Amino acid sequence: MSRRSITAVIIMTVLLGCSGGDETAGNSDAGVTIMTFNVENLFDNVDDPGKADETYLAIEAKQAPAHIEACNEIEVAAWRNLCLNLDWSDAAIDYKLRVVGEAILQVGDGRGPDIIAFQEVENAAILNRLRDEHLADAGYSPAILIEGQDLRGIDVGFLSRLPLVGEPRHHGIEFPDHPDRQDDTRGVLEASFELPDGSVLTGFAVHFPAPFHPIEMREHAYRHLNELRNAVPDTHHVFAAGDFNTPKREMEGTPILDDLVRPGWTIAHELCAGCKGTNYWARGDSWSFLDTILFSPARGENATWRIRADSVRVANGSPGQVNADGTPRRFSDEPLGGVSDHWPLVMTLEPVKNKSL
């Protein structure tokens, strides 16, 4: 049965303080909050034909010789071990959904952000389970998720409280110079929302090629995003949120930000005072903002919203998000613990009351 489907949703988020202080979200005075959250493999445990999701099955389903043989073909030892031994049981899924929900609800006085851009979600059904079972009081519409091409089946999606404007669209990204890596990439999800003053906010949820892929693939993805932004009507405010997979060495050691990002976007994490990053690479002992939010106001006299400078924060104050050494605590099944190897980033948009500012 085909998994190609669209489901709708909306959300945003507010947070003050790198360890979880927050504000009230959801009206034009308090602003509109946006969160990006790579939830690290939010899968169901049903085998999806045509997708390499065999790792995310209950251990009882992993005893068949065919499964063991397929796992043993995985070259990376850590991934092979997960394929063979991870027990993605109903209890593990229930735990994962609960702690992801807790991480979201640390924002907005327990109500969550207004818009959330998710990465590494398998399908709309599991995202709607999160909404229905752990975010029921947050007022989110049904999930927005359009199936992409990633071989493992991970997709980007939105949850939102703001009214949806028009139909969401999925924009695939072709990498003609790297056809052998195409299946390990995701497209861009576009959805537009109505802001409290009636203006339109267009959002792009992204998950760019991972750092082990050539930098040229990320550069190509940024160019693709810029083309999408340029196609949006001048009256729309625009944000792009997600896992851009651009490590610190590329942000600081290459012209990728100056050439492809800063000309058209404000980079939210550059306003995050005292924040080290959203992801930690132990082998290189390095923090990076793999996850960030970009904002581009409406053009000309329509620029009536902006980022509230003191609002940009890493949301890492929920139980289970932090290791003893202060790094993100990824999910573990034995024993159940952790949340994700990424921390969410949050920012607030506010109306511009004095346009001379």
Residue 238 contacts residue 201 (beta carbons within 8 Å):
yes
Write down all domains in the chain, each with its CATH number in brackets. 32-45+89-351 (3.60.10.10)
How many Cα atoms occupy the beta-carbon half-sphere of 62 within 13 Å?
A: 22
By DSSP bridging, strand 115-121 and strand 32-42 are: parallel
Question: What sign results for the dihedral spanned by CA atoms 336, 78, 282, 43?
Answer: negative
pLDDT at residue number 275: 94
Q: Kind and range of the H or E element at 222? A: helix 215-230
Ranges of the chain whose pLDDT falls below 70 = 1-30, 354-357
Q: With beta carbons less than 8 A apart as the criterion, state whether 83 and 55 touch.
A: yes
Q: Is the dihedral of CA 249, 254, 255, 256 positive or negative?
A: negative
- pLDDT on residue 49: 83
Give residue 354's pLDDT.
Answer: 61
- Residue 345 identity (one-letter amino acid): L
pLDDT at 132: 98
Cα–Cα distance for residue pair 128/157, rounded to 1 Å: 11
Contacts of 10 (CB under 8 A, 6+ apart): 114, 115, 140, 141, 144, 158, 159, 160, 161, 162, 163, 164, 191, 193
